[in-house]
Amino acid sequence: MGKKILIVGGGYGGLNTAIRLQKRHANADITLISKHDYHYQTTLLHKVAVGTLSDRKAKIYYRDILNLEKIKFIKDKVMEIHPKENYVLGKLGKYSYDILVIALGFKPDDFGIPGVKEHAFKLSSFNAAIRLNHHIERKLKDYHIKKDDADLSFIVCGAGLTSIEFAAELANERKKLCKYYGLDENLVKITVVGRNKNILPVFDHKLIQKATKKLENMGITLLTGASVKECKADGVLIQHNDKEELIRGHTILWGSGVKGNDTVEYYSNDIQSHKGRIKVTPQLRSVDYDNIYVVGDCAIYAQREVVFVPTAQLATQMGDYIGNLLSDELEGKTKHKDFKFINRGSVCSIGHLDAVGVVFGRKISGEFGAFMKNLIENRWLFTIGGLGMIYRKGQFRYRRSD
């Protein structure tokens, strides 16, 4: 057998590296380790949390999509990385490698704000989204018994893509959920707390205005220019217009920022990292170790000094690049072009049938925006499993996913 290539983390970055190596028939001993048996689209976790994407549909089993004769899959949680000795320690075993690809993804960053860890939900993994989904349903049921308004108050901390997509999905689903649980939908309150002057700072003024109007029309309260002081069991303490105020609510989502993976941040002492993210060269190698590559949210990647915001789009392109680079090396080619990120834009869904965003420099919104969002999600499904995967797991205008 050839070189041992170990990929840790089966998200957009890691899985795409594996798929690319598989497609290129790389002659190596390739193993993908991830902590679940299934891949999930992190970009759809807000739907899992609200219940509009069922857990069964969201799971894409690695053993179903990988050619197991070419890529071994091991379900394990990576606990430590030992780059000097070329091995990774998992809960279930020790895995040695010649080449390591780190693709462990992100963790929420609470910026040291009290109570976030204890009282706020995060959309950091599939299981975290499921926990939030069960909690939302429990609170709707609790209201019947206790008649406490806080059970119907949902507070979203952060006004970026993740937070807005969740708030809008929940607002969109409110009517149906209230019908199920026999509640008056007007009693449900959704509040978004954002630190910046505007929501969705990645977009320009026109799109921000459009999104703001859409969200307000859905009955979402947008508190911008407000900072979160503390998350508590019964709500969020904020500073807004020079005043402290407690917004009562029993469901808090923390969507305010991300950092790299804990395993890199705390348990991989010999690799230099900043908040779990590793600085990489233009060829996505760790700056310290020639045989370690980093893709996705764990990488700090800059083009002309500009550090890119971690996104699924970036992670996917990085996975593609590393898969090709490693395949080329195995075929004896030693010269490689540097990685170049091609930003095709980004789209923020506003419920299932609406969205705002920019695609190839063109502003889009409304149903066409939603169509493009589905197209982006389905394109990824095509990459990992062809048309059949789109048919089984895809997002469509006329088909709900629960």
Ligand X SMILES: Cc1cc2nc3c(=O)[nH]c(=O)nc-3n(C[C@H](O)[C@H](O)[C@H](O)COP(=O)(O)OP(=O)(O)OC[C@H]3O[C@@H](n4cnc5c(N)ncnc54)[C@H](O)[C@@H]3O)c2cc1C
14 binds ligand X (CB under 6 A): yes
284 binds ligand X (CB under 6 A): no
311 binds ligand X (CB under 6 A): yes
Residue 123 CA to residue 132 CA, distance in Å, equals 8
294 binds ligand X (CB under 6 A): no
Token reading at 329: 């090396």
Site for ligand X in 188-247 (CB under 6 A): none
| Shortest Å distance, C-beta 67 to ligand X | 19
Q: What character string, x for contact with ligand X (CB under 6 A) and - otherwise, covers 318-337?
A: --------------------
Site for ligand X in 31-50 (CB under 6 A): 33-36, 42-43, 45-46
Is 165 labeled as catalytic in the residue annotation?
Answer: yes
| Shortest Å distance, C-beta 263 to ligand X | 5
Pick the closer one to ligand X by CB: 34 or 327. 34
From candidates 5, 6, 7, 13, binder to ligand X by CB under 6 A: 13
Which among 118, 165, 244, 305 is annotated as catalytic?
165
CA angle in degrees (0–180, nearest 5) for 80-85-86? 75
Pick the closer one to ligand X by CB: 17 or 191. 17
163 binds ligand X (CB under 6 A): no
Site for ligand X in 343-382 (CB under 6 A): 346
From candidates 161, 220, 238, 278, binder to ligand X by CB under 6 A: 161
Q: How many CB atoms are located within 10 Å of the residue 334 CB?
A: 6
| Shortest Å distance, C-beta 195 to ligand X | 18
From candidates 17, 162, 172, 383, binder to ligand X by CB under 6 A: 162
Is the backbone of residue 391 left (phi > 0), alpha (psi -120 to 50) or beta?
alpha
Segment contacting ligand X by CB under 6 A, of 30-38, 322-330, 336-344, 378-386: 30-38
Question: Number of residues in contact with ligand X, rule: CB under 6 A?
Answer: 36
Query: Residues with Cβ < 8 Å from 308, sequence gap 6 or more?
Result: 301, 302, 314, 341
| Shortest Å distance, C-beta 187 to ligand X | 26
C-beta of residue 357 within 8 angstroms of C-beta of residue 207: yes
| Shortest Å distance, C-beta 334 to ligand X | 27
Is the backbone of residue 265 left (phi > 0), alpha (psi -120 to 50) or beta?
alpha
C-beta of residue 344 within 8 angstroms of C-beta of residue 313: yes
Segment contacting ligand X by CB under 6 A, of 66-74, 101-109, 270-278, 326-334: 101-109
Pick the closer one to ligand X by CB: 42 or 52. 42
Residue 382 CA to residue 365 CA, distance in Å, equals 24
Site for ligand X in 69-88 (CB under 6 A): 77-78
- With 0-12 CB in 10 A as exposed, 13-18 as middle and 19+ as buried, what is 45? buried
Pick the closer one to ligand X by CB: 83 or 151. 83
From candidates 165, 169, 320, 354, binder to ligand X by CB under 6 A: 165
Residues involved in catalysis: 165
What residue ranges bind ligand X (CB under 6 A)?
A: 8-14, 33-36, 42-43, 45-46, 77-78, 103-106, 123, 125, 161-162, 165, 261, 263, 296-297, 310-313, 315, 346
